[in-house]
């Protein structure tokens, strides 16, 4: 995978494009942008920022967004937790989605899994903190790999500072590309949404 280039220009572009929106969500591993673009159409008052590691997917998705004239979505190319840290300002996200991250099922590959304590520490920092009138930003995780799901929950519990909330929320949530596949196969899917306490 191509390493991250300097993402400072991309960060500025994201800040500029999202500036007029009170709510910002990020889809990490946005793939071909199905969830991102459909979310943007269904929820026009929210800005949806996608991060995806494969450049061709980012280019194609952004072309589609431009062709359809969707003002509240864009993708940026970034790889790994470092790209989330570099692209997204701290305390800026209402919601961070990580849907079907690569499962790396073999134990010797677990070190490659995205959702680990380091990623969760960055995720926590990127979400808006709770205060009097705001319940705190939300992390939404989904995976078809139930072993990975258990590992995610273990890391979350060890880190602390998260409160599980209902998966259903106030926004209209389309299904993701991979969710479509697993639902069609009847595979079980682990889903968890958590609010950041402070
Ligand atoms: C299994 S697909 C899931 C796509 C989408 N989230 C969905 O639910 O349909 C994982 C996506 O994440 C991207 N990806 C995997 N690891 C990544 C990483 N470390 N950094 C950025 N993108 C990554 C892949 O290129 C792929 O598009």
Per the structure block, which two tokens stand in for 9?
A: 């220009």
- pTM across the whole model: 0.97
The two beta strands, 95-99 and 23-28, are: parallel
* Residue 169 lies inside a defined structural domain of this protein: yes
Task: Find where tokens 């940026």 sit.
Answer: 76
Rounded distance, CA 60 to CA 69, Å? Answer: 14
User: Is 3 among the domain residues?
Assistant: no
Tell me the residue range of the domain where 47 lies. Answer: 8-196
User: Which ligand 1 atom sits nearest the alpha carbon of residue 78?
Assistant: 21
- H-type alpha helices, 73-145: 80-87, 117-126
Q: How many Å lie between the centroid of ligand 1 and the Cα of residue 87?
A: 16
Tell me if residue 102 is catalytic: yes
CB 81, CB 51: distance < 8 Å: no
Q: For ligand 1, atom 6, which residue shows the shortest CA distance?
A: 99
Residue 80 CA, ligand 1 centroid: distance in Å: 10
pLDDT for 1 equals 65
Distance between CA atoms of 183 and 67, rounded to whole angstroms? Answer: 29
CB-CB neighbours of 32 under 10 Å: 18
How far is it, in rounded angstroms, from Cα 96 to Cα 49? Answer: 10
The number of domains in the chain is 1
Q: What is the CATH number of the domain that holds 103?
A: 3.40.50.150
**CA geometry: angle 94, 4, 28, nearest 5 deg:** 30
Q: Which are the contacts of 131, defined by CB distance < 8 A and separation ≥ 6?
A: none
Query: Which of the residues 102, 132, 133, 187 is marked catalytic?
Result: 102
Q: pLDDT tens digits, the chain, 198 residues: what are they?
A: 677 788 999 999 999 999 999 999 999 999 999 999 999 999 999 999 999 999 999 999 999 999 999 999 999 999 999 999 999 999 999 999 999 999 999 999 999 999 999 999 999 999 999 998 899 999 999 999 999 999 999 999 999 999 999 999 999 999 999 999 999 999 999 999 999 987
Q: Evaluate whether residue 2 is within a structural domain.
A: no
User: 83 CA distance to ligand 1 centroid (A)?
Assistant: 13
The alpha carbon of 75 and the centre of ligand 1 are apart by a number of angstroms equal to 13
Return all residues near 170 (Cβ < 8 A) that are at least 6 apart: none
In a domain, 74, yes or no: yes
Residues in the ligand 1 pocket, defined by CB under 6 Å: 29, 31, 52-54, 57, 79-80, 99-100, 102, 114, 176-179
């Amino acid at each position: 995978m191509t390493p991250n280039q300097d993402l400072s220009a991309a960060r500025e572009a994201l800040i500029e494009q999202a500036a007029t929106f009170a709510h910002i969500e990020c889809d990490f591993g946005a793939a071909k942008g199905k969830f991102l673009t459909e979310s943007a159409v269904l929820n026009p008052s929210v800005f949806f920022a996608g991060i995806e590691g494969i450049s061709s997917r980012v280019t194609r998705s952004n072309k589609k967004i431009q062709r359809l004239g969707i003002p509240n979505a864009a993708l940026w190319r970034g790889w790994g937790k470092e790209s989330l840290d570099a692209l997204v300002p701290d305390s800026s996200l209402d919601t961070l989605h990580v849907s079907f991250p690569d499962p790396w099922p073999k134990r010797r590959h677990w070190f490659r899994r995205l959702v680990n304590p380091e990623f969760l520490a960055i995720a926590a920092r990127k979400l808006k903190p709770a205060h009097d009138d705001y319940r705190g930003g939300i992390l939404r995780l989904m995976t078809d790999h139930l072993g990975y799901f258990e590992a995610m929950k273990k890391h979350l519990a060890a880190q602390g500072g998260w409160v599980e909330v209902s998966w259903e929320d106030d926004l209209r949530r389309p299904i993701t590309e991979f969710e479509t596949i697993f639902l069609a196969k009847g595979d079980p899917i682990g889903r968890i949404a958590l609010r950041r306490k402070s």
